[in-house]
Amino acid sequence: MRKTLIAGNWKMNLTVTEAEKFFKAFKIQKKEGTELLFCPPFTDIPIARFFLDRSSIRWGAQNVYPEEKGAFTGEISAPMLKDLGCSYVICGHSERRQILGESDEFVARKVKAVLENDMIPILCVGETEEERKEGQTEERIGSEIRTALFALSKEETAKMVIAYEPIWAIGSGQAATPKDAEEIASFIRKTVKEAAGKKAADEVRILYGGSVNGDNISHFLKQKNIDGALIGGASLKPDTMIDIYNKA
Ligand code: PEP
C-alpha cells in the first residue's frame, strides 16, 4: 500500500521571516495515510525544523551536491541535509536541468547520494512542450529514469519517489489532464518494472506536478498510478496548502 505524499516545493521563495509567518499560520488535522512535506530553500530548513519537529509533517531540500564534503564552494551535501533532519531531497527539478544545465548523469549521482544518506530522493522527470508535440515524451522520461536507476539496487529503487512534471505545466496555470498524467505515470511504473522488477515498481511512489491547486488535486489523486503531488506556487500560501492536504 503506497502512502500518499503531498509535497510543497517553495523554490527560491520566502525569507526566514516570511517562513516563520507561514508556519505560524499553518495548522492541520493529521490524516492517516497521507504524508505532508515541505521543501523550502536551504536557508529556511532550520526554521522548518523548529516548527515541524514535533509534528507529523516532514521537511526536505530542493537540491543537493553528490559529494560528501570538500572544495565545492557554495554547495550543500547530503550528510549536511540529513543532519538538519531532512527526510526527502528533490533531485533534477526541470528548473535546475534547464537553467543550471544539470545532466541526467549528474542527477543520478544526487539520487544515489541521497539514498546513501538514508533520505528519500524525489526524482523529477518531464518533457518540454516541443518534445510533447514531437511525440518524444516517453523517450525523454524513459531515459531520465533509466539513467537515475542505473546504479541503484532494487531495494533503493523501491524507496524512491518519482515526480512527473511536464515542463509546460509548471507555473503556467495549465495543468496536464488527469488522464494524460495517469498515462505517463503508468509508463513510469512500467519503466521502473523493466529496470528494477515488479516489487520496486509496485512500491515506488509517483507524483504529478505542474499547476496543482485545491480545485484539481482530487482528480489527480483518483488516478491508479498517481500517489501524490509536487506543488510549487500553491504551496506558498498556508490556506491553499491546507485545502490541498484536506482534499488528499
Ligand atoms: C514545481 O515547482 O515543482 C511545480 C510543480 O510548480 P507549480 O505547482 O507552480 O506548477
Domain ranges of the chain: 4-22+34-247
Q: pLDDT tens for residues 111-162?
A: 999 999 999 999 999 999 999 999 999 999 999 999 999 999 999 999 999 9
How many C-beta neighbours within 10 Å does residue 55 have?
14
pLDDT of residue 197: 98
Q: Which helix (H) or strand (E) holds 187?
A: helix 178-196
Q: Give the closest residue (by CA) to ligand 1 atom 3.
A: 232
C-alpha 244/C-alpha 78 separation (Å) is: 29
The DSSP annotation for 194-219 comes to HHH-HHHHHH-EEEEESS--TTTHHH
pLDDT over threshold 90, residue 1: no
Check pocket membership of 144 for ligand 1, CB cut-off 6 A. Answer: no
Task: Show binding-site residues for substrate.
Answer: 9-11, 171, 211, 232-233
Tell me if 176 CB under 6 Å of ligand 1.
no
What pLDDT was estimated at residue 35? Answer: 97
> Worst-scoring range by mean pLDDT, 27-31, 47-51, 244-248?
27-31
Look at residue 51 and tell me whether its pLDDT is greater than 90. Answer: yes
The yes-or-no verdict on residue 219 having pLDDT over 90 is: yes
Residues 79, 85: Cα–Cα separation, whole Å: 10
Instruction: Determine the residue of 93, 122, 165 to mutate for testing ligand 1's pocket, defined as the one with the most ligand atoms within 8 A of the Cβ atom.
Output: 165
| Cβ of 230 below 6 Å from ligand 1 | yes
End-to-end CA distance of the chain: give it in Å, rounded: 16
| DSSP secondary structure letters along 112-150 | HHHHHTT-EEEEEE---HHHHHTT-HHHHHHHHHHHHHT
Identify whether the C-beta of residue 168 lies closer than 8 Å to the C-beta of residue 180: no
Q: Does residue 108 contact residue 145 with C-beta atoms inside 8 Å?
A: no
* Residues taking part in catalysis: 93, 165
Query: ipTM exceeding 0.85?
Result: yes
Q: What is the mean pLDDT of residues 17-35?
A: 95
pLDDT band at 173 (very low <50, low <70, confident <90, very high): very high
Percentage of the chain with pLDDT > 90?
98
Which among 113, 94, 112 is positioned nearest to 148, based on CA atoms? 112
Specify the CATH class of 4-22+34-247 in words: alpha beta
